[in-house]
Chains A and B, each alone.
Chain A
Amino acid sequence: MRAAVLDIGSNSIKLVIGEKAGDDINILESLKNVVPIGRNTFFRGRIAQETINQTISLLEKYQQRLAEYDVKEVMIIATTAVREAANRDMFVDTVRRKTGLKVEVLNVGDVVYYIDAFLSHKLKKKYPIHQKDLLIVELGAGSVDISVLEKGFTQMSVGIPVGTLRLKNFMNSLDGSIQEIYEAVEEYITNEILYVKKSIPHLKLDDVIVVDENYSGYLNHFLSGRRKPSEFFEFRIKESDELLAKLTESYPETVAATYKVPADVVETMTGYAIIVNKIFRLTKNKYIYILETSLAEAVLANMIFKLELVQENNKTNQLISVAQNLCGKFKLDLNHGRHVAALSSSLFNQLKDTLGLKDEDLIYLTLAAYLHDIGMFINNRTHHKHSEYVISSLNLFRLTEEEMNIIACIARYHRKGAPSSAHLLYNTLASEHQILVQKLSALLRIANALDRSHKQKIKKIEVVLTSKGDVNIVAHASGNLLLERAFFKDKKELFEEITGNRVTLTLKTRDAQEKSDDRH
């Protein structure tokens, strides 16, 4: 299989064409050209027209390469520089109109997801990534993306807007002695990185992995006694100090000449060294691993080996892991969340054909089930409305903004008023997504009602469809189910409204085989 990734980065646009060669990827072409999108976005807020034109003309050239290798699987990704540009949508649209290429703007979580999947594939023998608790740091020109992985499951991912290019510009804007400037920059970064520490207070790390493609290749120029490092190597805290000292001992030009490193690399490498140094200080690790690879290669590996990724670490499970972590952070009843998710999922699977749902829709329902009460953190009154905006502000990987809004709406409609075009967020959704929200929130209402007591009394549910299309839910349970039954009566209405069919509940308790028909 052959695939290609076009990576619209902060400083350059890359094309990587690769082909599966056993367990490896044979890189056929690797092209890179400088396009200053990051400079535009970070310092002027938007991508200049000239830069857009430059991008398009380069992409057109790259398309010729795609034809030369008959590549059909192509992904065009963009990161921070495009993501944060005020004219992002116009940029994406212009590129699509002029080249036919659809740019996928990745968020922080996406980047980490790809890197993680790639790492586990690439390092599997050398380093069992899914048995460790890790901090993975991806150092870019625009931002530093950090994610926490526990035994292969993402706990959180954050993007900190202190990339190397931004730091350089920030440092240039400071008016002070060199020493003062470094102190200021350190304080600035410390605050940003401390956020990670505060978010996961129990954080215990086995290792830190820094992913970087721009600077690692030059490390041996600075470090005494280091040969050219391999792709994955230990970087010691002493070396981090040595690097920072040497990078800042003189003007960039002098440093460049002394250590035979291009001057433009030296200019931004200082930021790299400060960030890495700071990570050492925060994690108190004696060494960190540096992995020299690019996002484009990671995405390419994902495309080529997509079927061979470890199942248990797939996207759904990763997202569930993050959702569970959020439950902890927002002090939600995790058992309830997990149970509602399980009931929802069961309903979904048994009713998906009736409702015309696709398998990939399940993840929205699952995440909404975990997070539907997240608004309680703000206030228990109208907490469904709080849930809506909290969820829509979250950043989960491999999910677009629209998808996050779908989840937010499903969660919002787990109680009270039904979806209505008078509701702002719901109204922004595409019409097919509005229908989806209606169907999934109808299922969530029933599932949530069935655990109204938060005691997980219902162990299993079966759906029986009558010839008229009516739905009978047979629930196997134990204990007092009065509350569940009462709420079911109330919450099934939305489902009946949108399907036009009746829903009934049959409760089967272990002790009494109690039967209750609930017809209207």
Chain B
Amino acid sequence: MTGIDPKEKFIARDLSWLMFNERVLEEAADISNPLLERVKFLAIFTSNLDEFYMVRLAGLKRLIDSGYNHKDKFGYLPAEIFAEVKKQADGLTKKFYEIYHNKIKKDLEKNKVYFKTCEDLTPDQEREVRKYFETTLFPIITPMAVDQGHPFPILPSKTVAFAVNVLRADKPHLAIIPIPKNVPRFMRLPSERGETNFILIEEILRTHLKNFFRGYQLQEHTLFRVMRDSELYVAEEFTDDLLIAIEEEVKKRMRAKVVHLEIEKSCASEFLDILCQGLEFPKEEVVSIGGTLDLTCLFELIPFIDNPALSYREYKPAKIEYENIFERISQGDFMVHLPFQSFYPTIDLIRTAALDPNVLAIKMTLYRTNEDSAIIKALMDAAGHKKQVTVLVEIKARFDEEKNIKWAKQLEDAGCHVIYGIANIKIHLKMTLIVRKEEERIRRYVHLSTGNYNEKTARVYTDIGYFTANDDFARDISDVFNVITGYSLPSPWKRIVSSPYDMRKYFFDLIDREIENQKKFKNGSIRAKMNSLEDVAMIEKLYEASNAGVKIKLVIRGICCLVPGVAAQSENIEVKSIVGRFLEHTRIMIFNNNGSPRVFLSSADWMSRNFDSRIELLFEIYKEDMRDHLQYIHDMCWKDNLKSRLLTPERKYIRQKDNEERFNFQERMISYYGSYSGPS
């Protein structure tokens, strides 16, 4: 296989990601989805794309600017992939607006939801709008002049603003008016019964621009939106205090290089020149938008529309019945499949531990969590009850840095030992350890998960949480904490495998065994489910297994750089992606092992960063009913044909054929757990 251009063997990571976002966009266009869910998909698409600009595109730009000119592992030079990515992204943006204007907006209108401009308001509405402008908007907005004494203002990433050209005594002046972020983008207008009318605040401002420039003559104006490089530059190995360093860097992010600029289509070319100069952005890369800028605001819209028929059918996450969580775990290991089952046992575990007089210590990792988190509150309570609480906070979780710093400080104030990550590596695994005194003996409880300790995403992401009181697990997990915190050198573990130490190799060994089994028994098989597959060494290994005849079925929601179904490369590999109501997030790996399958759960995807620069966890499930259940989950994913697309050898994601019986994995799981109390 060597000597083949990597472009032939792999799909470049960024292109694959754009394909994923395209699948999200397709969900917005899919009329079988309820209308408001389609609106949500639109908002998700655009907020995804924003992040992509700020992280990936920014990274490519940095490479190009630095003069770096080597091919990446997928065979692309920086400029080459940048051009390709830009082309695809711009194409998707165009498609996005087509769907918004031609489909979503029209369908909303059919449901009597209207977006107005100032021109078509009723007198009542006009009065309300004027009042809103005068009492709310006008007082909080200050136009910023740009001239020799006033350089171009620093606009934070994702700011939408007006650039206005005004004349005084025949001399042109440029002014900037940012759209305020502390008021909703939409104003809800007084409406007839059964109707919902909205107006965007920039439309209100557009009409009232002259109010800001009395004594000036208003010339042209345009809305624009900037996106900045969001990478943090922390020389971690030279930093004594990671917390302070990251706080400083987050502040600097405001002034980082602009990596993406959108303007309204109507903007005049000379005016754009001035703008590009001010923002130091190449004119040829500017994206003209024929419509509303920054539609992430569609998220705000949804709660205003009160029509359950336009959303997914409500369901209640299935409860796991028990009286006391410690007793329940002591009775035997169990799993919770989110969001089909309730997240409650996880919160309950921490809460009960916080109040239980026999609990001595709680240790947990936190990567991303929600505002007003019950878990954080419970941890603070626990510290208040004189328990030893250690929290490993990964403050480098992207875009959550500021939030994480905030609640990490709260935890510290409450008396918790907070450890702010470690240099050069992200703590991505999710684990909790509780030390409890039971009749003068120590008993330890462990919770491991494929997903974050986040009550909000626990309603939207599919994940699996694992509860156990097995002391082998407890020892390993305790040791992982000791290693991460620098308290100890690693010692051999019994139940877990971890990156960046030996996870990749562990998987390779498992795959090698399947290759052996294929040779001996003709039954080599691998089934796996994850978010992303990007590690080139892993892909090569899978190709090797495929060539040996091992049957491989992968359910990969997001990035997949592997090309399946190619002769003499991946004939035995099939890849499908599920994009649906819930974000598929579980990581399950199943190796046939000559008929007695070995089943694993993991916090890691098969991406280089997960293997090499993150602390991740892989653990095997030994209990038969749980092993069976995880295989069942994978099988059901595989059976899905409503929300799945197959990746073809031609690198296209295609829907499955219509003639098969319709099967929706996620809906099936809702009803499955509805009458199901989980493995005992």
Contact = CB atoms under 8 A, between A and B. Distances in A.
Interface of A: 1-2, 12, 15, 19, 21, 26-34, 58, 61-62, 64-65, 67-70
Given A26-B442, A33-B487, A68-B388, 12 more contacts: A2-B440, A30-B488, A30-B491, A31-B482, A31-B487, A64-B417, A65-B482, A67-B360, A68-B390, A68-B435, A69-B435, A69-B442
B361 interface: yes
B441 interface: yes
* A interface secondary structure, majority: strand
B337 to A, nearest CB: 31
Nearest to B363: A68
Given A29-B478, A31-B487, A32-B488, A70 B441 contact: no
B437 interface: yes
A32 B489 contact: yes
Interface string B470-490: 010001001100100111110
A69 B361 contact: yes
Contact of A70 (B437, B475, B488, B489): B437
30 contacts: A2-B442, A12-B489, A15-B488, A21-B441, A26-B442, A26-B471, A28-B442, A28-B444, A28-B478, A29-B478, A30-B479, A30-B491, A31-B487, A32-B489, A32-B491, A33-B486, A33-B487, A33-B489, A34-B489, A58-B487, A64-B388, A64-B390, A65-B482, A67-B360, A67-B361, A68-B361, A68-B388, A68-B435, A69-B442, A70-B360
A28 B471 CA distance: 9
Contacts of A64: 388, 390, 417
Given A67-B388, A68-B360, A62 B487 contact: yes
Which 6 pairs show the lowest CB-CB distances between chains A and B? A68-B361, A31-B488, A68-B388, A70-B360, A67-B388, A61-B487
Given A2-B442, A29-B478, A65 B487 contact: yes
Interface in B359-385: 360-361, 363
A304 to B, nearest CB: 13
Contacts of A33: 486-489
A19 B442 contact: yes
Contacts of A19: 441-442
Interface of B: 360-361, 363, 388, 390, 417, 435, 437, 440-442, 444, 471, 475, 478-479, 482, 485-489, 491
Contacts of A58: 487
Nearest to A21: B441
Nearest to B441: A19
A65 B435 CA distance: 11
A337 to B, nearest CB: 46
Nearest to A14: B488
B481 to A, nearest CB: 10
Contacts of A61: 485, 487
B218 to A, nearest CB: 65
Contacts of B441: 19, 21
Residue from A15, A27, A33, A70 having most chain B Cβ neighbours under 10 A: A70
B482 A29 contact: yes
A69 B443 CA distance: 10
A1 B439 CA distance: 11
Contacts of B444: 28
Nearest to A28: B442
Q: Which of B390, B442, B478, B479 has the most CB of A within 10 A?
A: B442
B420 to A, nearest CB: 16
A34 B486 CA distance: 11
A33 B486 CA distance: 8
A61 to B, nearest CB: 5
Contacts of B363: 68
Contacts of B479: 30
A62 B486 CA distance: 11
A69 B487 contact: no
A307 B678 CA distance: 47
A101 B447 CA distance: 34
Contacts of B435: 68-69
A393 to B, nearest CB: 39
Nearest to A58: B487
Contacts of B417: 64
Contacts of A67: 360-361, 388
A64 B487 CA distance: 10
Nearest to B389: A68
Contacts of B475: 27-28
Nearest to A70: B360
